[in-house]
Structure 1
Amino acid sequence: MDLARRMFMGQLARLAAGASLVPLATVAEAAINDQPPRRGGDPTKRYAMLIDLRRCIGCQACTVSCHLENDAPLGKFRTIVSQYEVDDPETGDMSTFFLPRLCNHCDNPPCVPVCPVQATYQQEDGIVVVDAERCVGCAYCVQACPYDARFINDKTQTADKCTFCTHRLEAGLLPACVESCVGGARIIGDLNDPESTIARMIAEHRDELQVLQPEKGTLPHVFYLGMDERFVDRPEAFASIWEIRGTDNEELHYEFSGH
């Protein structure tokens, strides 16, 4: 689908949503399609990522390498490390907490059934991807994602997000963010392989692992080790970085309190 047609179809989808007066907040709760069958990917694998927050130093190497690898638009990110200043509940002292964020590649992804054209789907290896040829840019999936992990790509006018760099995995390479992590905080692998590093780490630290917003029932497959429990849900904290401005001083992106 060429860009002009995609933009036209996206405008129609947005107009239809407005005409029906359906609040965007309800899009995540209302399934437009049934969950389509998984397709593509290796059915023998189930990819997941474990992020060891004890090793993350907030250097943003993962953010930069992902941005370069996937040619994301300025001010939009498939992965990012949010940096927060939080208070110690016992002493009241302030400390810095780094929270890497990306698509959680859920087993029950709410972004998939809301897509009116089934452009968003889950591969048989668990990776959630977007078929840019089908996507009309209606942003239903962006609204449905509870992890703020999706955006509309300004260049393509289609939904964009982390894909675990599936093109690199298929070539036997690590995702860009994993390869560039100087602290070795990001571990990706196949949960179906008991000898994989991620499977062994999950078995070893099972009682310590946490996921974001478990109450949503999405069954995320990005696991965090060393998580401050206050960040499992949306944190009450103040973001201390990521005010990004263009050459005309126009604000392009900002990680704000509670985001």
Structure 2
Amino acid sequence: MSLVTYELDDHIATITLNRPEARNAINGAMRQDLNSAWDRFRDTEDAWVGILTATGNAFCAGGDLRDGGGSVGTFGGTSWEKPTINSFESGMELFKPTIAAVNGPCIGYGLTGVLFCDFVIASTDATFSFPEVSLGIPTVVGAIRLPHRVGWANAMELLLTGKPISAERALEVGLVWKLVEPGNLQSEAMGWARTLTEAAPLAQRATKEVAWRTADMGWIEAVRFGETMRKVAGATDDAAEGVRAWVEKRKPHWRGR
């Protein structure tokens, strides 16, 4: 049985954490499968939108403390796998749209991955936590990412107490984008993914890259980079198709080229 499944259908890739008997805690083998799934999504031209979800009653119980390969760093004399920017949760450069569909507890490693998704859709039974400080361990990647997502005090609420917050609280602070009943979670995520596939995929990626890279640029540099990306995207077949479709008053047929 694969610990992480990958399914591609109509330009939508669904990456599913599939270790329900361990509440989808990330061990070494599962981490490798997850990294491979994100690499596959990034490198598959026909995959335009990604959904990260999970089987069972928990989204992810964090890193498996019985298997250091599922986490990162060195704690209590135990060596654990070190993070790199080549993994999705640690900052892989991936400009395709991504959606997290979260059910049940979303803890530690799982929440770090969710933070790198563009849209977080959660069921009302979801909870979110970074419990590392309660184990004497600092949160690193989550501490880098979370304040930009939810603001300083809201981030510190999670990072410095180690206590979980409810789905309603996560929606209030902006961690969650949309809240749904548990039975509607997967259909809501898939419906939004289909909506995203209606736009030109290369233009989407260029737009997301501009938003990502210009966050740390000065205004002039940011605009110049944006205009460069506009020219790159404007030279694609999809850009020509978009103009033709507008002139002919029909729906465009995107090819991702």
* Structure having the larger proportion of residues in helix: 2
Q: TM-score, normalised by structure 2?
A: 0.25
Which of the pair has the greater relative contact order for Cα pairs under 8 Å at 6+ separation?
A: 1
